[in-house]
Amino acid sequence: MKMDYLSVTDLTAELTKKLIIKAIDLKKQNYRGNELKGKTVALIFEKPSLRTRTTFEVAIFHLGGYPIYLAPGDIKLGVREPVKDVARNLDKWVDAIVARVFDHRTLLELSEYARIPVINALSDLEHPCQALADFMTIYEIAGTFDVKLSFIGDSNNVANSLMLLSAMMGTDFSLAHPPGYEPDSLVVEKALDLAAESGSVITITTDPVEAAKHADFVYTDVWTSMGQESEREKRVRDFQGYQVNSELLEYASKDVRVMHCLPAHRGEEITEEVMESERSVVFQQAENRLHTEKSLFLEIFKG
């Protein structure tokens, strides 16, 4: 039976922790192997990328496989031909699909029509591989998932995956967003159900100070994501007061660490001072994308 990773909830908390611990070990070893020898992985990208494309290509190469990058103009997914036809063609040639798309429904359709594993490398709904690397970073630093993670800013795909994964892993999670930028109600409902089982506390507020209080990790992301460029001026106005800066961090834990999935708009959602401070772990997160993706591939192709 194939293993997809479209959402952080596709894995159990137990398996997620196992993958993270494995990733930490792979990182320590600077691991190279041949587990993907003779295997090819199609990388479908509708959006530009630095971290996601590079880490997936390197992870596949380090495990002995061969990545095939398919740029937006190469296949024009859903335009030149239907998504289901692309899925059924790739199914005949490659061993897995990694897709970075605008619409999450594209991933669901790829998964439905391809008998090979499909990995979400970002959609409008979730960014599970980012969240997996973020929780590896948290575990490396804290040695536990029993911490408070606060997300300040837009209720976007990264916030969705972090909220769901926090609820799974027993991590307290606070989201502070401006009025009118509420998180997806179905994501919140699912997170609350998961939190009831794990003991996680999920808090959603419009007050960044409330969210940041006693936080062990404070996370932010750009206010204007890819595809939202026409909203930029309005968003910059609406998100005033939601910047991660030294003043906000005064309310957090004295050992607080600052996280960002990158790229960052310094001077908007985060200050240059905080970004370059010793509290920042943003490049540790970026590095850990490589190791968690290796760990994920090893699990998908085990045996």
Buried b (16+ CB within 10 A) or exposed e, 247-286: ebbebbbeebbbbbbbebeeebbbbeebbeeebbbbebbb
Do the two domains 8-126+286-300 and 128-284 of this chain adopt the same fold?
Answer: yes
* Residue 127 annotated in active site: yes
* Residue 130 annotated in active site: yes
- For residue 257, report the phi and psi dihedrals to the nearest 5 degrees: -115, 145
The CATH homologous superfamily to which domain 128-284 belongs is Aspartate/ornithine carbamoyltransferase (3.40.50.1370)
How far is it, in rounded angstroms, from Cα 242 to Cα 231?
17
| Predicted local distance difference test score (pLDDT) of residue 163 | 99
**What does the pLDDT average to over 62-83?**
92
Q: H or E stretch including 66?
A: strand 66-70
> Residue ranges per domain, the chain?
8-126+286-300, 128-284
Of the two residues 160 and 80, the one the predictor is more confident about is: 160
Q: Which of 4, 177, 243, 261 is catalytic?
A: 261
The model's pLDDT over 196-228, given as tens digits with 9 standing for 90+, comes to: 999 999 999 999 999 999 999 999 999 987 667
Q: Which of 62, 129, 130, 172 is catalytic?
A: 130
The model's pLDDT over 128-177, given as tens digits with 9 standing for 90+, comes to: 999 999 999 999 999 999 999 999 999 999 999 999 999 999 999 999 99
**What does the pLDDT average to over 56-63?**
98
**pLDDT at 303 exceeding the cut of 70:** no
Q: Which of 100, 177, 257, 260 is catalytic?
A: 100
Q: Which of 221, 235, 243, 260 is catalytic?
A: 221
The model's pLDDT over 16-48, given as tens digits with 9 standing for 90+, comes to: 999 999 999 999 999 999 999 999 999 999 999
Question: Would you say the pTM of this structure is higher than 0.95?
Answer: yes
The model's pLDDT over 222-266, given as tens digits with 9 standing for 90+, comes to: 998 766 777 888 999 999 999 999 999 999 999 999 999 999 999
The CATH homologous superfamily to which domain 8-126+286-300 belongs is Aspartate/ornithine carbamoyltransferase (3.40.50.1370)
Sign of the torsion angle spanned by Cα atoms 47, 20, 170, 142 = negative
Q: Which of 127, 235, 257, 260 is catalytic?
A: 127
* Residue 129 annotated in active site: no
Give the pLDDT band of residue 79 (cuts 50, 70, 90): confident
